[in-house]
């Protein structure tokens, strides 16, 4: 896996936007105040649902997502200020401490159980676990964990907190996100660069299979950061 990573990082040119390129390989722990965050999300839950469990599938669930990933995602929306993203006006007036508090708050919320349950023999389950060498698809579990809860080394170093859990996320959102990694040139962090290299080899059928399995896989716990040994 280390070799795949090195290859990806060196073979693709960083395509940074106006805000520059952010290297997350030595990213620090994201700490914040969950109670303060709870008071700052009234506008967010209109789209992302109560406690970050979205009712509309176009909106990603945020509950129980890792705080590092949530924080860098919000910081990215603010940095890029892309007029096409519905998130741009949401983050423009928020400061760095607000983003941290909000990230820690949503991370501490429980993710709702999937509406349908996952079947271990779904094609998406095999693709996620084993990849498909013939199509150049690497196993997703190497970075997202066997049951898509986050990086297998999560909890051992802060940077793995910046790898998202994918379990119990909306299939529509996951598919749209994967197509965006594949088709968009916009890559402004080392982590997005990794995911762009992965998504390049995913066709629409593979994306649909992976998204269906992930949406049906339960998220097992909430997430905190700052408790590294």
Distance (Å, rounded) from C-alpha 96 to C-alpha 71?
9
CB of 42 to ligand HEC, least distance (A): 8
Tokens standing for residue 115: 């509406």
- Given the complex with ligand HEC, which of 15 and 138 has the nearer CB atom? 138
Distance (Å, rounded) from C-alpha 229 to C-alpha 226?
9
CB of 11 to ligand HEC, least distance (A): 13
User: Which residues lie near ligand HEC (CB under 6 A)?
Assistant: 4-5, 41, 43-44, 46-48, 58-60, 62, 70, 72-74, 85-87, 90, 102, 137-138, 140, 142-144, 163-164, 166, 174, 177-178, 189, 191-192, 194-195, 198, 202, 210
CB of 86 to ligand HEC, least distance (A): 5
- Given the complex with ligand HEC, which of 1 and 119 has the nearer CB atom? 1
- Tally Cβ neighbours within 10 Å of residue 123: 16
Q: Would you list the DSSP string of the chain?
A: -HHHHHHHHHHS-----TT--B--TTPPP----HHHHHTT-TTTHHHH-GGG--SSTTSPP-TT--HHHHHHHHHHHHHH--TT-TTHHHHTT--HHHHHHHHHHHHTSPPPPPSS---TTSHHHHHHHH-BGGGTBPPTHHHH-TTSSS-TTTTTSGGGGGSPP-TT--HHHHHHHHHHHHH-----BHHHHHHHHHHTT--HHHHHHHHHHHHTSPP------S---
- Given the complex with ligand HEC, which of 168 and 202 has the nearer CB atom? 202
CB of 1 to ligand HEC, least distance (A): 6
- Given the complex with ligand HEC, which of 45 and 226 has the nearer CB atom? 45
CB of 67 to ligand HEC, least distance (A): 10
CB of 227 to ligand HEC, least distance (A): 21
Distance (Å, rounded) from C-alpha 146 to C-alpha 161?
16
- Given the complex with ligand HEC, which of 132 and 226 has the nearer CB atom? 132
- Given the complex with ligand HEC, which of 58 and 119 has the nearer CB atom? 58
CB of 99 to ligand HEC, least distance (A): 8
Distance (Å, rounded) from C-alpha 151 to C-alpha 66?
10
- Given the complex with ligand HEC, which of 41 and 212 has the nearer CB atom? 41
């Amino acid at each position: 896996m280390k070799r795949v990573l090195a290859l990806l990082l060196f073979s693709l040119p960083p395509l940074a936007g106006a805000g520059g390129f952010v290297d997350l390989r030595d990213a620090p722990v994201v700490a914040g105040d969950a109670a303060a965050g709870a008071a700052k999300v009234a506008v967010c839950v209109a789209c992302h649902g109560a406690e970050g469990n979205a009712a509309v599938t176009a909106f990603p669930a945020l509950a129980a997502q890792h705080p590092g990933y949530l924080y860098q995602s919000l910081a990215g929306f603010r940095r890029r200020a892309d007029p096409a993203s519905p998130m741009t006006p949401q983050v423009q007036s928020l400061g760095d401490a607000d983003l941290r508090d909000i990230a820690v708050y949503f991370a501490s919320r429980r993710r709702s159980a999937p509406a349908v349950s996952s079947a271990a023999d779904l094609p998406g389950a095999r693709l996620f676990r084993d990849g498909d060498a013939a199509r150049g698809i690497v196993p997703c579990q190497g970075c997202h964990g066997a049951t898509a809860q986050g990086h297998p080394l999560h909890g051992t170093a802060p940077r793995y907190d910046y790898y998202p859990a994918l379990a119990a996320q909306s299939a529509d959102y996951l598919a749209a996100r994967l197509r965006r990694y594949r088709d968009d040139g916009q890559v402004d962090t080392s982590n997005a660069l990794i995911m762009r290299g992965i998504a390049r080899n995913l066709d629409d059928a593979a994306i649909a299979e992976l998204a269906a399995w992930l949406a049906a896989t339960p998220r097992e716990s909430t997430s905190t950061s700052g408790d590294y040994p």
